Amino acid sequence: MASLAMLSLMSCQNDTLREADQGTGYLYVSLDRDDSEDLVFKSVQEADIPFSLKVSNELGQEVASVEDHRTLAETPLALKVGKYTVTASSADAPETAMFDAPFYSGSAEFEVRADQVTNIDVTCSLANVKVTAVFSEDIRKNFEIYELTVSNGSASLVFSNKNGTSGKAGYFSPTGTLTWSLYLKNLDGLESVMAGKYDSVKPRQHYNLSFSLEEKNDNGAGGFYIVLDDSMTEKKYDLVLDFGNKDVPEMSADFEIPDNGPVTLNAGDNTSKVLTFTSKNGFRNLLLSYGFKASAMSAGRASAAQVDLVGASSAEIAALEVAGIRTASVQEGDASAVVDITEYIADCPIGSATVSVTAVDTKGVFKETVIDFELMSPVGVDAVSANAWAMFATLKGKWFAASQPAGIAFQYRKASDAAWTDVTDVVTQTGSRTYTADITGLEPETEYVFRAVSDEDRETREISFTTEVAGTLHNMSFDNWYQNGSAWMPNLSASYKVWDSANPGSSGFSIVPTTPTDDVAVSGQGKKAAKLESKKALIVLAAGNIYTGKFIATSGLGASLDWGVPFTSRPLALKGWYKYQPKAIDMVKSPYENLKGQTDICQIQILLTDWEKPFTVNTNTGTFVDFENDPHIIAYGKFETSASSSSYQEFSIELDYRDKTRTPKYIVITACASKYGDYFTGGVGSTLYVDEFEFVYDPDELSE
């Protein structure tokens, strides 16, 4: 256990320094030690550590500070009478990982009183994780090199006999995990590697990793165990060092790796970079390390991490994906693994990057692969990607120098044309050195080409993209109807169904809330509209409605419906015509009893989803779509009103896209004369007319 620092602070009154109405006290600090054990493992007491102090008043304002608490023994700090908070911390701020640099912190409240001495204690505890390594005498005698690499996922420390760090104490900022790998090279030149991981790692814990040898009698002189004693459980790692074993783990890549020197690329290179690892004996460890160092001219970030893919958690795999590395967890004994570093390298700025993988098979034989990348400055700007919709696209570009080049812009054209169109209205993101622009007026289902340009760079890389289909749905004009018994159906025929209503359930009671009408928004031969009227059916309300999907069956006094039909386009809005004649709400069910007597409300809504199948609504059991929280909803919009209208009014529902990169699989459009009709609440006789629905794909139409 690392000892706890006890700061004793005393305030005392000195009459000679008394102000008119204020006393003045003095602050003394002494450093004591608490040797009680409350860390994970036994530790040696640290050497005397200086603490900095910050004193704040009741308003949180800093009124005094001391760089080294030990100076107060000779020069006490004068404070006015009052209440204060002192915050103490060791002199050096905590680093991600450092040798011999513990960081302690703590705080306490105290009060300075006139003519009194106040004694308080501030407990300063270790804020980082301590790691020490112990190598037995037999390891020191039999191995030329022994190195323990420990990582918290952000930085690593190497405890090595070659650089004099084997006996040091390492301190890590707590990230929840620690991974370790032990590299050994014996006096005959034979090498081996093993690895492990600790989870639930917390501040103030001390991991003391002690390694020793134990002979493995059943394998003769060539085999022995490495024994790890970490004070939690004793673990034996079987190292059979077989000089005759030819089955060394192998690595292949889909890009060229020079025999000497780094892989030289332009920064932002996004060509495929996939590593494939195989082992005839299966993997015991697959240690992936990666990091890069940005050049002085680049604004990129620094990064370093290590993870063992054998047994890697879903959180570790997700963290790798965030870093741009795509792979999967490997089970012990698996014979192959694939690591895609394409996105990681493409995201690295100008500078040097390293990806290394140490593959250890189940017999302890290993192969280390280290790939160095040197990322050079390409042209000043480069095209990155295009998010293409039906009639517009968002273009993304990147620059590579430390400062933004002059005149950054885009050029685009149809793939079949020769002339370029300039786009100079761009939005820049300085931190990532990227810029974007929206281009409008595009044609659906058409191939385009774009490139990033600046004042200095005109002939840059071209990227092609194809705009999406401007999809539509059958019978959005509501001109086509047929009858199934007494139930009107809003489709051309039973063989092609997109729209449905509650008619199939209520018609058995001679109630048909949804019907065609000649009262239309746009006149013409054969034109129809949909009339949705809320009616009483037995003891409940049958709200007039229409929706994309299919009626399944009656369910108690309600119905079971499938919401949604296949649809993969991304419209920006739904527009059309409506006329509403509401009544007072006279039929109510829980929890809407308070609405009785209020004017009814109509509703039209649209949502795009990537459900794997239509959503089954059940009005009897109260099973409805969670519009706010369903993660499969990509976009949503609605229109509601209680205003009465004697003639058709135009409406437009702009879709709110919660994710502008996903492609939908289903579309739901619903219209209802009574908003709370699903809950059997509404006004009998409330009538909504809807006609001539259509999608908006051109963003310029939204501003009209």
The closest alpha carbon to 410, from 442, 444, 453, 443, belongs to 453
What whole-number percentage of the chain has pLDDT above 90? 42
For the ranges 299-303, 491-495, 567-571, 616-620, the one whose mean pLDDT is highest: 567-571
Amino acid at 613: K
The pLDDT of 330-336, averaged and rounded, is: 93
Going from N- to C-terminal start, the domains of the chain cover 4-126, 129-240, 250-376, 381-466, 482-702
Residue 189 neighbours by CB distance under 10 Å: 8
Per-range mean pLDDT, top range of 43-47, 252-256, 304-308: 252-256
- Predicted local confidence at residue 233, as pLDDT: 52
In this model, does residue 106 exceed pLDDT 60? Answer: yes
What DSSP letter does each residue of 495-535 carry, written as one string?
TB--EE-SHHHHGGGT---EEEES--SS--TT--EEEEE-E
Selection from 586, 613, 590 nearest residue 683 by Cα: 586
What pLDDT score does 120 carry?
A: 64
Which pLDDT score, from 0 to 100, does residue 79 have? Answer: 78
Contact 261, 332 (CB under 8 A): no
Confidence of residue 179 (pLDDT cuts 50, 70, 90): confident
| Token pair of 314 as six digits | 């879903």
- What is the model's pLDDT at position 570? 97
Residue 700: strand, helix, or coil: helix
User: 250-376: which CATH architecture?
Assistant: Sandwich (2.60)
Chain position carrying tokens 């006139």: 114
Per-chain mean pLDDT for the chain:
82
Q: Which CATH number fits domain 4-126: 1.20.120, 1.10.287, 3.30.980, 2.60.40?
A: 2.60.40
pLDDT band at 299 (very low <50, low <70, confident <90, very high): very low
Q: CA nearest 56: which of 85, 33, 23?
A: 85
- The fourth-level CATH superfamily of domain 381-466 is Immunoglobulins (2.60.40.10)
* Cα–Cα separations (whole angstroms), residue 435 to 345, 411, 412, 652: 19, 13, 15, 31
pLDDT band, very low/low/confident/very high, at 12 (cuts 50, 70, 90)? very low
Exposed e or buried b per residue across 294-317, where buried means at least 16 C-beta atoms within 10 angstroms of its C-beta: bbeebbbeebbbbbbbbebeeebb
Closest CA to 196 of 237, 159, 163, 158: 237
> Averaged over 244-271, what is the pLDDT?
83
Contact, 228 vs 139, CB < 8 A? no
Mean pLDDT of 76-101: 77
Contact 356, 289 (CB under 8 A): yes
Confidence class for position 223, pLDDT limits 50, 70, 90: low
Q: Which residue has the higher pLDDT, 5 or 511?
A: 511
> Could you tell me what percent of the chain has a pLDDT over 70?
83
Does 649 score more than 70 pLDDT?
Answer: yes
- The lowest-confidence range among 7-16, 197-206, 353-362, 502-511 is 7-16
Amino acid 123: pLDDT: 73
Comparing 4-126 with 482-702, is the CATH topology the same? no
Q: Give the residue with greater pLDDT, 167 vs 298.
A: 167
Lowest-pLDDT choice from 212-216, 316-320, 579-583, 660-664: 212-216
Peptide bond just before 262 cis, omega within 30 deg: no
Mean pLDDT of 323-343: 93
The pLDDT score that the predictor gives to residue 221 is 39
Does residue 436 carry a pLDDT above 80?
Answer: yes
Please say whether the structural domain 482-702 has been given the CATH code 1.10.1740.10.
no
Q: pLDDT band at 548, cuts 50/70/90?
A: very high
